């Protein structure tokens, strides 16, 4: 939702609020036109009706909703809401007591038990006003959040579709697919059993990409299984057993992750690694912790212009956009490039 529209919603609420206050004030003093009395009433009402409502409204809106209610912490929301409203009422009472001329609208100088009773009533009324305004703030914030989530889901759906199409085009383009099939075909005469296993891996990869990447979240174990099969197919093209170093640390368990969130970086690493005889030319590490998942991918490359390959991999800009949509403020992406090493470090919080 546009900020200008959000501002208009707030302005509309406060305009209606003060209109009701002044209508009530006009009806109450319709038979008494004493200028002094009316002005004193306006001063007191400004503090009485505005201070607790304003404090409660904005604290409910900016603090209570995002920190507690949005995370479904209902008991804490109620508790902190009462604390905010009572605190706002006390602030309003102190301002009335010491800054507004007393004795006109509310008798603040009454002594003893009667004075304390009056103060308690005033604080209770202002607390009620604060609670009502706070509830309105929660409703407005909830509506804005709901609207933004709908827009985000629409944008995510569009970007996910774009991502899937780009992945299919960049990873299983005819050139790569034909090369893989040719490598398997050459392997059939040497080792038919191994060739059959690789065909099954290729079939599993295509099935995974076409059918299992539609949900917004999949099991991390499935993502890792796909990565392993993808690496195995890529290693057919070299006799170097130490060409790729792939490690997984930590307990995968039942953790979930967005589908194919790591594979674009791995795919780019294979595309831009020129010398397949190097040991650990590509290094991939996935570290699983209780509150985050850390992914690291490094590949060595020849920086000479003649050895560079055209950038046919999935662009970092599109990858970054997808990360921002899926893991907004819950991921850290660091990309570093030296003369002969390209590294990507991605941390997904609460993965």
Indicate the number of domains in the chain: 2
Which residue would you say has higher pLDDT here, 316 or 126?
126
The answer to whether residue 163 is domain-embedded is no
Same domain for 188 and 320: yes
Confidence of residue 99 (pLDDT cuts 50, 70, 90): low
**Length of the chain in residues, anyone?**
351
Same domain for 267 and 200: yes
The answer to whether residue 160 is domain-embedded is no
Same domain for 181 and 53: no
- pTM for the complete prediction? 0.54
Tokens of 343: 């590294």
Domain that holds residue 144: 3-151
Domain end marker among 100, 116, 151: 151
Same domain for 199 and 327: yes
The answer to whether residue 164 is domain-embedded is no
Rounded distance, CA 181 to CA 229, Å? Answer: 15
CATH number of the domain where residue 299 is located = 3.30.565.10
The answer to whether residue 158 is domain-embedded is no
Nearest to 209 by CA among 249, 177, 256, 251: 177
Rounded distance, CA 181 to CA 58, Å? Answer: 63
Same domain for 129 and 209: no
pLDDT at position 106 over 70? no
Same domain for 129 and 186: no
Which residue would you say has higher pLDDT here, 275 or 132?
132
The answer to whether residue 159 is domain-embedded is no
Interval 45-86: pLDDT, tens: 667 778 889 999 999 999 999 999 988 899 999 999 999 999
Alpha-carbon separation of residue 266 from 53, 128, 149, 342 (angstroms): 54, 58, 31, 11
Interval 251-269: pLDDT, tens: 998 899 988 889 889 888 8
Interval 231-252: pLDDT, tens: 988 888 788 888 999 999 999 9
Confidence of residue 28 (pLDDT cuts 50, 70, 90): low
Domain end marker among 151, 182, 215: 151
């Amino acid at each position: 939702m546009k900020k200008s529209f959000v501002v208009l919603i707030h302005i509309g609420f406060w305009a209606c609020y003060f209109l009701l206050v002044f209508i009530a004030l006009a009806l109450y003093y319709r038979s008494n036109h004493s200028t002094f009395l009316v002005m004193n009433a306006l001063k007191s009402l400004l503090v009485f009706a505005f201070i607790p409502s304003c404090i409660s409204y904005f604290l409910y809106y900016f603090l209570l909703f995002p920190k507690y209610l949005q995370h479904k912490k209902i008991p804490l929301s109620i508790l902190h809401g009462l604390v905010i409203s009572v605190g706002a009422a006390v602030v309003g009472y102190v301002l009335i007591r010491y800054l507004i001329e007393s004795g006109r609208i509310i008798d603040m100088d009454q002594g003893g038990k009667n004075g304390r009773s009056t103060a308690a009533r005033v604080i209770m009324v202002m607390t009620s006003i604060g609670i009502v305004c706070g509830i309105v703030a929660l409703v407005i914030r909830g509506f804005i959040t709901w609207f933004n989530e709908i827009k985000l889901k629409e944008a995510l759906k569009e970007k996910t579709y774009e991502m899937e199409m780009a992945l299919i085009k960049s990873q299983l383009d005819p050139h790569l697919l034909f090369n893989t099939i040719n490598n398997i075909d050459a392997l059939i005469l040497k080792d038919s059993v191994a060739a059959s296993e690789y065909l099954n891996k290729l079939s599993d990869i295509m099935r995974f990409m076409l059918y299992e990447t539609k949900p917004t979240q999949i099991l991390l174990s499935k993502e890792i299984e796909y990565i392993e099969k993808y690496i195995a197919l890529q290693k057919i093209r070299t006799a170097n057993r130490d060409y790729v170093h792939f490690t997984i640390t930590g307990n995968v368990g039942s953790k979930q992750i967005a589908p194919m969130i790591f594979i674009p970086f791995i795919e780019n690493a294979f595309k831009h690694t020129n010398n397949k005889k190097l040991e650990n030319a590509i290094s991939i590490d996935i570290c699983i912790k209780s509150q985050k998942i850390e992914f690291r991918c490094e590949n060595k490359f020849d920086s000479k212009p003649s050895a560079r390959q055209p950038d046919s991999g999935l662009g970092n800009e599109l990858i970054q956009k997808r990360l921002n949509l899926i893991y907004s403020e819950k991921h850290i992406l660091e990309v570093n490039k030296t003369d002969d090493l390209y590294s990507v470090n991605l941390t997904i919080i609460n993965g």
